[in-house]
Chain A
Amino acid sequence: DAGITQSPRHKVTETGTPVTLRCHQTENHRYMYWYRQDPGHGLRLIHYSYGVKDTDKGEVSDGYSVSRSKTEDFLLTLESATSSQTSVYFCAISERQGNGYTFGSGTRLTVV
């Protein structure tokens, strides 16, 4: 997707290990979001950022932390991965609240 990239695209990790997912944007947008998408649940907000070093929790934030040290990068860390965190993770950006979101291509994470 233009202007936003997620890495890695796929990852398999073991239970109990820390994992960091990266979202990088070239659009200079203020807002960045991390969602997870699971069958039967749709997209659920994990954390979001409204500026450098400004972050807040979403509805499913337990077990996750984020950091945003630069406008272009938003990192999602699973402190100690569990099987319930097996999911597809999407990063999204928006210029201002109320604007449409641009989503990345997603990271498929499997915790074994």
Chain B
Amino acid sequence: SQKIEQNSEALNIQEGKTATLTCNYTNYSPAYLQWYRQDPGRGPVFLLLIRENEKEKRKERLKVTFDTTLKQSLFHITASQPADSATYLCAPGPGSQGNLIFGKGTKLSVKP
């Protein structure tokens, strides 16, 4: 079955550093991969989409890479700030029903 692993449940970093979150997938070949941010008590918010023919995508301080050989996506936040503290979800797609399949998320804490 399709499996998504975000290999850190929690990541603690110092303000100003670059946060790097990892998403690995097995047993399928997604055409695209999306990243979401979720704050406590709120629904996930879409951040970025990267397609299989794109190696890298950037948006302001965010950068996403997609390596179809390694079956992995990396999500970077440069010059991190305490306001970046949240849970980040990766979601490759399409799944067998055309939907997104979500990883369990990585909780990022940025300390001042």
Q: Which residues of A contact B (CB under 8 A)?
A: 1, 33, 35, 40-45, 48, 50, 56, 58, 90, 92, 97-106
Contacts and interface: CB of A to CB of B under 8 A. Distances in A.
Contact of A98 (B41, B44, B93, B102): B93
B97 A42 contact: no
Contact of B94 (A35, A56, A98, A103): A98
Interface of B: 31-32, 34, 36, 41-46, 49, 89, 93-95, 97-105
Contacts of A1: 43
Contacts of A98: 31-32, 49, 93-94
Contact of B99 (A40, A48, A102): A48
Query: Which 8 pairs from chain A and chain B are nearest by CB?
Result: A103-B43, A100-B46, A42-B104, A43-B102, A97-B98, A103-B44, A42-B102, A90-B43
* Residue of B36, B44, B103 with highest tally of chain A CB at under 10 A: B44
Binding site of B, secondary structure by majority: helix, strand, loop or mixed? Answer: loop
Contact of B89 (A43, A50, A102, A106): A43
23 contacts: A1-B43, A35-B102, A42-B89, A42-B104, A43-B44, A43-B89, A43-B102, A45-B97, A45-B99, A45-B101, A48-B99, A58-B97, A90-B43, A92-B43, A97-B94, A97-B98, A98-B31, A98-B32, A98-B94, A99-B49, A100-B46, A101-B44, A103-B44
Contacts, number: 54
B91 to A, nearest CB: 8
A41 B101 CA distance: 12
Nearest to A100: B46
Given A101-B46, A106-B43, A42 B103 contact: yes
Contacts of B97: 45, 48, 56, 58
Nearest to B31: A98
Given A41-B104, A98-B32, A98-B93, A104 B46 contact: no
